[in-house]
Structure formats: C-alpha cells, structure tokens
Structure 1
Amino acid sequence: MSKKNKVMHLSSNSGLYPNKFVPDYSEFVMNNIKGSVHHFYYVGDGIGIEKHQKWRVYNNSFMSGIKLLICMCFYDLIVFHSIPSAKVTLILAFFIKYFKKCDLVVWGGEIHHQAVRKAGIRECLLPYFNKQFIKGCKGYITYIKEDFDYIKNNINPKAKWLDLGGFYPSNILKSSISNSYAEKVTDEAINILVGVSALKRNNHFEIIDTLGKSFSHECKIHIPLSYGDKEYAYQVEKYAKEILGEKNVYAIYEHVDYATYLDFLKTIDIAVFSHEGQQGMGNIRNLIGMGKTVYLNPKSVTWSYLYNLGFEIYDYKTMKDFDFYISEKNIEIARKEFSFESTLTTQIKYYTFN
C-alpha cells in the first residue's frame, strides 16, 4: 500500500472575522478525499469552527509563527489558504522558500491591493514581507490565469500554475441549483444584487450612478455589506437611498449560512458587479449556474475568465432597461465547468502526488 501524503492547511479565523471558506472546505476534504491525510491549522481563535474535524488553533504571535514553522517540517505538502497574519508572515517569509511543496491559494487582493496606507515602519515593511512570502511558495492555486500571470511576471518567475477549479464548496455548483433555476420566489419587483461586500473595490457608487440614470421600474436593490469596512458600508447605504429611493434599497448587514444565502440568490433577477480583481466568485458562479442575468466590469479578470468559457455576460455600463432572462446556455456550461465531479477529480489528483 502506498504511503498517504500528509497535508497541512493553514488559514485564519476569529469570532470577529470568521473564516467563510476553509472550515467547510475541511469537511469537503475529509468526506471526499481519502488518499491523503489532512490537518487544518488556524491563526486566531476557534470560535465558529468547533464542529469541524482535525483542526488546531494558534494565537497571532511571533511564537506561533515559530511553532507553525516547526509543524511544517512534518508534512509533505503545505497549503496556505491566504497570506497568514503579519506576525506569522514575518517569521515564515524567511524560511518558506526552503520547503519543497508550499502552495498558496490566490484571492487576488494579496497581489493587487498591497498599497501602503500609512507612513509607519510596520506598514512600509509588511508589503515587502508579503511579497517575499508569495515569492517563496512553489505553486499558486487559482483558476484566474491573469492572477497567475501577474505572479509569474512580477514576483516569482518559477511559479507553477495550479488550476483546481472552484476549489472551495461555495464555488462548486450543486446539481440541485442548476436544476431548480426557475424556482424564483413570486415577486412583482425586479430584484437586483449590487456587489458582494463592503470593500471599496466593489465600486458601489459607480454602479449606483449607473442604476440611477434609468431607474424607472419597481425594483428592489439588495446590497450585501456584512463583510468589510463598516463606515464605507454606511456611506454606500446612504448614497444608494438618496439616488434610488429609500424604499427600494435593502442593505444586508447580517451574516447568514450558505444554504440560506443560496435561497436568497434564487430570488435575484439581475446581478451587477464592478470590481476589477477576483472577487465574489462563489456568488457569480452560482448566479450564472442558475441562469441569472449578470453584469460585470469588462476590465475585470472575472469577465475574461467567464467570457473565455463561453458564458453570456454583459457590460454593467450598458444596463438601461433592466431586462433579464434565464440563460439556458449559461446553465449548461456551468453544469460542465463548475460541477462537483470535475472539481473533486482535479483535487484528488493534486493531493495524491508521489
């Protein structure tokens, strides 16, 4: 019997900033990938992940960085689900290049949004150490080719591209979703989703202005603002109500479970996103899999990715009459590209290397 690879997963979690992806991913791995052994490590605290399997938590400190570095020596593969906290990164950035297999899940923000926000020494040094950390990894897990190309051309010329599909469960299209796209809750109003979080790179104000130019229908504008900058979130809500009318705007601040959010997405007729980087892909994949009408920024890597797969998508600046329809073409492509089976096959191969 061949030896099973030991895989260490490292991410962050806290009661204040709960991890939305990795805990569910740990269940996906434990239940479906049997040819390797997986242990999940979190920097922060264990609030919200108590029900999950085989995890350990380290606090955010330099000592934790040293302890995690020692742990890494006992694994065949280390998967970083994001750049670690600043203190842990400062430790690992010096040594990660010496490990044979360290791979990083690329979200986009770690390579496109590393601007220095203050003049302090810490704020000046952190982008440097983040870059060294990224450079020290060997493989980069992303299905966005533009993000990988940026890393290869600007950070690590020896980078290896690892396209493992949607990777996280939230990016995998459930067959029940694509088969029930017509189950829209009866509602005379047109339901429009704007953005995915309270981050400025969602470009909410620009979308709101675009909607305001031809806002003549009875519409409900839903704006998810539960994650990100709270002050910015309140500014977005206030501006949206000024331009689109207070009774038409529904700002979403509460956190809901994944199943509840999918039910909410079924009620959406039109979704509008203006970000340029990789963001909200779980939302976008599921909306497209339901056949919903999706407007995007044509300058974004999301647009390039979906357009190259053959999906019908639209430039958000061309939105005028709020027309929408169910796209059978998008549903069929999504069933093939975003399926559980295709993602599982790819990941089993990734984790059972020799």
Structure 2
Amino acid sequence: MRILHCIVDDKFIDEEINIFEDTKGKHYMEYIFIAENNNNHFTYIKNKELIRVIPMGESVEYINKGDFDLVILHSLNSIPIGYISKIKNNVKILWKAWGFDLYRYPNEIRPFIKLKRLKPLTKKYWNKNYKKQRIINLKVFIYDLIYNKRIKQSIERIDYFSGCLPIEYKLIKDSVPYFKAKHLPFAYFDRKDPFTDENIDHYPQLDSYILVGNAAGVPNNHLDILAKLKCNTTAERKILLPLNYGGDGKYIDYVINDAKSYWGDNNIVALRDFMPKTEYFKLLEKCGYAIFGHEQQAALGNIYKMLWQGSKVFLSETSVNFKYFKSIGMIVFSIQSDLTLKSINRSLSMEEKKNNREVILKHSSVKDALNEICNIYTTVEKDKV
C-alpha cells in the first residue's frame, strides 16, 4: 500500500515520521510539505531528507499521479481546504485533526466545534488588544460563507477521522451534518514516553512548583488562572509559566508582569526560549501541581506527563479535557470547584497516583498507540478491496 503524508512544520512531526517509518513494513511511505513557494526552511522539523516540498499549485496533480492508496492529512493546515475534494475518489483520506482544525476552523466565529474558549479576564484582554484580529475574523467568516460549498465538499470527501481525544469524533459528528468520515483513531506519541508496564513503579521526587498552562496562546486563559491562584496561594509559591510556544510578545510580557506583581521576580519561572522535550519534561518534575485553563482539547502531552509523574492536575470542569479524563476514571480536579488554598497544598496520595497510571496504561500506553498505527494499515487495506 502506498501512503502519502501531508505534513506541517511542527514539533510533533519528526517523531511521527520515525514511527511511521519503523512500522511501515511492506508499505511505501512518502512525506510532502505543500508550500506557496519552494522554500524548504523548517523551524521545527529536523527530518528534512525524508520530506519533499511541493509547490501549492502542483500539489493536487502530484497526489493524483502518485498512485497512492491513502493520504494522511496531519491537520487541515497541511493542504488548502479546496484541494481535498479534488483528490481522486479511489484514494482514501485520513484527517488527523488538531485543535486548530476543530475549534478555530473554518473560522473563529463559527468553527466546526463551537466553545466559549476564553474566560472573562482573558476575553477582556483579547477584546482590548486584538481589535485587528476581530476584523480579520469577521472577514474570514464572510469569506467562508461565500465559499461554504467548497468546505462542505472537502469535509464530505474525507474517509477517516482521528481527533486527539476519542470524544472529539462525536463532537464533530454532532456539530457538522455533512461530516461522514469513519472513526480511525491514532495518537501522536513518543516511543521514549514512560507509559509502559516496565516503568509503573518508578515515581520522580516532585517539588511544589505550580505549572500554569503549556504555551503562550491566549486559550490557556493565563490571566483568569493567575487571578484564581492569587486568592488561593501564598506569595512565596513558585510558578512555572511555559510561554515558549505560540502566542505573541505583548501577551507574554503582560502575563509575566501580571504574575510577578503578586509572586515577585524570584518566584516566577517564565520560559521564553524553545526547549528540547527531554529538558522541558525534566523541568516539569519540579511541579507537583498543574493547572490547564483551556476549554478545548489541548496540552495533552503536558497533561499525560503530569498525571504519570503523580502531579495533581486541575482542569476547567466545562472543558473537553476534563470531561474526557473524568469519563475514563482519571483523578483530575476542577479549577472552578476544587482549586482552593487547601487543595493546592495537598498532593495526591499514592493510591491516587497509581490509579492515574493504571488508567493511562489502559487507554494511552505506547503499546496501544503502536497498535493504532498498525490498525490504520489493516483497515484501509480491507476497505480498498
């Protein structure tokens, strides 16, 4: 079977290429980056020798002449939306949906899955400082209304869907009437992740730092989380703010200054430069507590890391993340109801830590993730007959 991956320049892609290369067996794999020009400069991707840069105007012809059995779209940003419906009907298409795809696409005003992503303080900041973006969002919304048929045809053309959480399949199916794809889940993962039976009894020695968010994007709702924390922690508490991925400088400065106004310069660890994953994950072991303020699915790598190492994790009780983790038996806590001075100073019991590890091994182990990749091959081969 010939499989084509349409990729984007992101930190997840290198390891996914390695995994597909190692599991491909008899299957042929190819990886393309569709570009507006022939620029092959990548910010995050290191496996450049395996990637072919295809000019945007030539991409549909390249796909259709390649005799591919399956095209995997690593987010809708990997290909112009109108091109999907132009792919030959005998080619199966698997859409690996990222958070942007579901919660901000085709436009911010009316995405596929509509959520109230911003909390009050963050919303107030956004309305004041992103007025130009609001105008852009309105223009994109109007544009998408005009070209809605093109979007509809492309989504209808997709054969298989994988979100980042299983519940996202039902969310998009309930929200988008022309969505017809079958559920064929697979997860992005790192084979060096510790989520194995062999590592189940080893727990790192955690410190009392509090992790707030996973990136610099506004949907982290940093301002609302920090306001809640100010009422429920002492000014001596150490706060870790990963602000080295996404976002913009003005917002990053505002968040850092807001945090330092209460906890002071010495108690705020603000990350602004991108770090290797191993180095970053080692730093997370200082954090016995973590708070993620997203409403959409987000920060899963960070959340799984924190749960596995035994940290106490707080999520918005109205969020996609919270609902999913609660549904599978994970012990996580509500920002709205559980984030109190007492709770943020009481770590998980060993029984609670073990429960969370067992749930991860049941639902998200490295072995399970590898099996999902292999299931893609067998499912598509069966459907192609």
TM class by shorter chain equals 0.7 to 0.9
2:247 counterpart of 1:229: yes
Retained in 2: the 8 A contact 1:273–1:295?
yes
Please identify which structure carries the higher helix content.
2
- Of residues 206, 217, 228, the one that matches 1:199 is 217
Unmatched 5+ stretches in structure 2:
110-133
Query: SS of 1:167's equivalent?
Result: coil
- Counterpart in 2 of 1:10? 6
Residue 76 of structure 1 is matched in structure 2 by 69
1:211 corresponds to 2:229: yes
| Paired position in structure 2 for 1:343 | 369
CA RMSD of aligned residues (A): 2.7
> How many Å apart are 1:130 and its aligned residue?
5.3
**TM-score of the superposed pair, with normalisation by structure 2:** 0.78
Alignment match, 1:161: 183
Distance 1:151 1:135 in 2: 13
CA distance in structure 1 between the aligned counterparts of 2:191 and 2:253, rounded to whole angstroms: 27
1:171, distance to aligned residue in structure 2 (A): 10
Distance 1:177 1:96, change over 3 A: farther
| Structure 1 counterpart of 2:25 | 34
Distance 1:173 1:301, change over 3 A: farther
Identify the match of residue 269 of structure 2 among 240, 246, 250: 250
Q: Is the 8 A contact 1:203 1:274 kept in 2?
A: yes
Contact 1:103 1:139 in 2 (8 A): yes
| Inter-partner Cα distance in structure 1 for 2:216 and 2:199 | 26
Partner of 2:170: 149
Paired residues for 1:312-327 under 5 Å: 312-317=331-336, 318-321=338-341, 322=344, 323-325=346-348, 327=353
Q: Percent identity?
A: 23
- Which residue of the partner structure matches residue 118 of structure 1? 135
The verdict on how the C-alpha distance between 1:146 and 1:97 changes in structure 2, with shifts beyond 3 A counting, is farther
Count of matched residue positions in the alignment of Structure 1 and Structure 2: 335
* Residue pair 2:164, 2:297 contacting (<8 A) in 1 also: no
Q: Which residue type is aligned with residue 7 of structure 1?
A: I
Which residue of 1 is the match for residue 116 of structure 2? none
Change (3 A) 1:97 1:181: farther
Change (3 A) 1:179 1:64: farther
Deviation at 1:141, TM superposition (A): 0.7
Between 242-251 and 197-206, the greater mean CA deviation after superposition: 242-251
Amino acid at match of 1:324: S
Report if aligned partners of 1:278, 1:302 keep a CA contact under 8 Å in 2: yes
CA distance in 2, matches of 1:96, 1:300: 35
For residues 95 and 193 of structure 1, do their structure 2 counterparts lie closer, same or farther at Cα, with a shift above 3 Å needed?
A: same
> What do residues 109-128 of structure 1 show as CA deviations (whole Å, max 9, x unaligned)?
22222215435866643584
Residue 259 of structure 1: how far off its partner (Å): 1.5
Whether the 8 Å CA contact 2:13–2:45 is kept in 1: the answer is no
- Residues 90 and 348 of structure 1: is their aligned pair in 2 closer, same or farther, counting only changes over 3 Å? closer
Matches of 1:91 and 1:244, distance apart in 2: 49
TM, length-normalised to structure 1: 0.84
Q: Is the 8 A contact 1:177 1:289 kept in 2?
A: no
Retained in 1: the 8 A contact 2:210–2:238?
Answer: yes
Q: Conserved in 2, the CA contact under 8 Å of 1:97 and 1:137?
A: no
CA distance 1:240–1:38, change in 2 (3 Å): same
Q: CA deviation at 1:174?
A: 3.8
Task: Indicate yes or no: 2:11 matched with 1:20.
Answer: yes
Give 1:337 deviation, angstroms.
2.2
Q: In 1, distance between residues paired with 2:155 and 2:201?
A: 40
Determine the C-alpha separation between the residues in 2 that align with 1:20 and 1:178. 27
Displacement of 1:261: 1.8
1:54 is matched with: 50
Change (3 A) 1:149 1:46: same
SS of 1:193's equivalent in the other structure is strand
Look up the SS of the partner of 2:34 in the other structure.
strand
CA 1:151/1:131 → structure 2, altered by over 3 Å: closer, same or farther? farther
| Deviation string, structure 1 residues 291-335 (Cα, Å, up to 9, x no partner) | 211000111111111111111000023212222235121122223
Distance (Å, rounded) in 2 between the aligned partners of 1:294 and 1:50: 32
Structure-1 residue corresponding to 2:285: 266
Deviation at 1:157?
Answer: 4.0
Structure 2 CA distance for partners of 1:179 and 1:56, relative to 1, 3 Å: farther
- Worse overlay, 216-225 or 40-49: 40-49
Candidates 292, 302, 305, aligned match of 1:283: 302
Query: Which residue of structure 2 aligns with residue 16 of structure 1?
Result: none
Rounded to whole Å, the distance in 2 between the matches of 1:339 and 1:227 is 26
Instruction: Give the Å deviation of 1:12.
Output: 1.6
